[in-house]
Amino acid sequence: MPVTRGFIGRRRSHEGRLPPGQYDTGAGWPVLTAEATPRLDTDRWSLAVDGLVERPTSWTWDEIHALPESSYLGDIHCVTTWSKFDVAFRGVSVDTLLEAAGPLPDAAFVMAHSSTGYTTNLPLSDVVDGKAWVVWEYGGKPLPREHGGPARFLVPHLYFWKSAKWVSRLELMASDRPGFWEQNGYHDRGDPWLEQRYQGD
Amino acid sequence: MGAIDDVQAVETAWTTGRVIEKTLPTPDTVRLRMHVEDRPRHRPGQHYLIRLRAPDDYVAQRSYSVASDDDDPLVELLVERLPDGEVSEFLADVVEVGDELEMRGPIGRWFTWDVTTPALCLVGGTGVVPAVSMLRTARRLGRTDLLRVVAVGRDPTMLPYADELGRAGATLAYTRHDDGTRPAGAPTVAEVAPLLAGVERAYVCGSSRFASYAEALLLDCGVPAGAIRVERFGPTG
């Protein structure tokens, strides 16, 4: 495509760290949601791992906090083109949850469900080996409601719509099935480094 | 004339848009009317991407809601000029009629209206844009009875499309301006609840702060959370 007349753009200060087409949002953290922000009580909160597993398992708020903690310190990338550097989340690794539930051999995909009805699908390989978390702390404080609190899914190597807010269930599946945005024009996998934003990318 | 349901879900590709008209309707906005090559049909509520390309192939892209009806030969976008906005400042200050921009769309199938479901839009600031598209489409299809709009702005000079929305019967709520019929202030349950009779879906579009207010207001009016579709934009702290 030709150069846009008169456009120079910002100084490139993050060469190599920003995926193609992304910009650094700095201290801001835009809130993007498709549904009304729910108020969830941690007394009644639970997370389930089910579907193709040996032991369908669910955790209460206290039970999940008793699991070994795991942190993510790094960058996140939103399909709307902002990236945010050096964010710190704390919660539990999805590996720990899967270890408890025991994925069956034919489990190859996972659907993350939110209490709002939001869904997003991922290959199982994208949520194992230290690549995904369920997190309840951001920057040392409880995760704010508008950012998915009390707890959200976190898959930071993919565009952030995969990191479902208000996550309530991880469903293991044998075959792929599109989630909410994936049915609504967005890419099935969403790798920011391959710029897999929309269907057809 | 085809029904709106004829719109097919398609994979979108980058194409070229040429600026046919450019105006600055309010101090903070720029309105662009674009001729888009190989333009697919769109539903009211969808958006387009604009991508700017520097000589070294550095690119910056943002998405903007469409204000026009699908029947309009041009795609109309209204862009808020954000302080230090890499793309919006360029569109407001540098772009001229005749310039070509990379465009892709329409994007999004969730925040769209089917022109069949009775709906209310509660929109603020440049969040009025998708409601304008919905109103224009409703007018063309003779279904303005299905759509009610509450548009919220600081005052008439800061609310995009205020005249058009007013003519279409929208409720205009100014937070800092008394228009003689309505004192200044945010919309209230007493104002919005009567508009919800028969409404099956609510669309909220605006800044993050506005969307939080609007969601709470609709819930207070008894709208089920599942009937609310939200498009938020802008940074938070």
Q: With bands split at pLDDT 50, 70 and 90, how would you rate the model's confidence at B1?
A: very low
**Which residues on chain B are in Cβ contact (under 8 Å) with A200?**
11-13
Superfamily of domain B4-107: Translation factors (2.40.30.10)
A140 contact B CB<8A:
no
Size of interface A-B (CB pairs under 8 A): 119
**A201 inside domain:** no
**Which residues on chain A are in Cβ contact (under 8 Å) with B237?**
27-29
Asked if A173 contacts A107 with a C-beta cutoff of 8 angstroms, the reply is yes
Instruction: For the domain made up of B119-233, give the CATH fold.
Output: Rossmann fold (3.40.50)
**A3 inside domain:** no
Average pLDDT for B62-87: 94
Q: With bands split at pLDDT 50, 70 and 90, how would you rate the model's confidence at B237?
A: very low
A55 contact B CB<8A:
no
Closest to A9 (Cβ–Cβ): which among B86, B228, B231?
Answer: B86
Residue A121 structure tokens: 């699908």
pLDDT at B89: 92
CA–CA separation, B35 vs B227, rounded Å? 35
Q: Is-above-0.90 flag for pTM? A: no
**A69 inside domain:** yes
- DSSP designation for B144: G
pLDDT digit string (tens) for A71-109? 999 999 999 889 999 899 999 999 999 999 999 999 999
DSSP string, B187-217: --HHHHGGGGTT--EEEEEEEHHHHHHHHHH
- DSSP designation for A78: -
**C-beta atoms of B108 and A184 within 8 A:** yes
CA–CA separation, B208 vs B237, rounded Å? 10
Domain count, chain A: 1
List Cα–Cα distances, B30 to B18, B48, B95, B97, in angstroms: 15, 15, 10, 12
Whether A174 shows a pLDDT value over 50: the answer reads yes
Sign (positive or negative) of CA dihedral B9, B12, B16, B22: positive
Percent of chain B clearing pLDDT 90 (strictly above): 81
Q: With bands split at pLDDT 50, 70 and 90, how would you rate the model's confidence at B58?
A: confident
**A11 inside domain:** no
**A12 inside domain:** no
Q: Which spans in chain A are helix H?
A: 61-65, 94-101, 180-183
Asked if A153 contacts A112 with a C-beta cutoff of 8 angstroms, the reply is yes
- Domain CATH number, residue A184: 3.90.420.10
CA atoms within 13 A on the CB side of B31: 16
pLDDT at B25: 93
10 Å CB burial of residue A192 (0-12, 13-18, 19+) is: buried
Quote the domain boundaries for residue A144. Answer: 41-194
**A2 inside domain:** no
pLDDT at B76: 98
CA angle B40, B43, B48 (to 5 degrees): 60
pLDDT at B4: 42
Average pLDDT for B163-187: 95
Average pLDDT for A161-166: 96
Q: With bands split at pLDDT 50, 70 and 90, how would you rate the model's confidence at B7?
A: very low
Q: Which residue of B has its CA nearest to A27?
A: B237
**A34 inside domain:** no
Nearest chain B CA: its distance from A193 CA (Å): 14
Sheet strand arrangement including B47-53: B59-65, B47-53, B100-107, B15-23, B29-36, B75-80
Closest to A34 (Cβ–Cβ): which among B95, B208, B230?
Answer: B230
Q: Average pLDDT, whole number, for chain A? A: 93
Could you say which residues from 76 to 115 on chain A have a Cβ atom under 8 Å away from some Cβ of chain B?
80-81
ipTM of the complex: 0.80
- Phi/psi for B164 (5° steps) reads -65, -45
B10-14, B130-134, B139-143: least confidently modelled range:
B10-14
pLDDT digit string (tens) for B182-232? 999 999 999 999 999 999 999 999 998 899 999 999 999 999 999 999 998
Q: Which spans in A27-173 are helix H?
A: 61-65, 94-101
Average pLDDT for B85-112: 93
Whether B236 shows a pLDDT value over 70: the answer reads no
**Which residues on chain B are in Cβ contact (under 8 Å) with A12?**
58
A12 contact B CB<8A:
yes
**C-beta atoms of A34 and B111 within 8 A:** yes
**C-beta atoms of B53 and A31 within 8 A:** no
**A163 inside domain:** yes
**C-beta atoms of B236 and A28 within 8 A:** yes
Whether B2 shows a pLDDT value over 50: the answer reads no
- DSSP designation for A171: E
Residue A127 one-letter amino acid: V
List Cα–Cα distances, A102 to A56, A92, A97, in angstroms: 8, 16, 9
Can you give the residue ranges of every domain in chain B?
4-107, 119-233
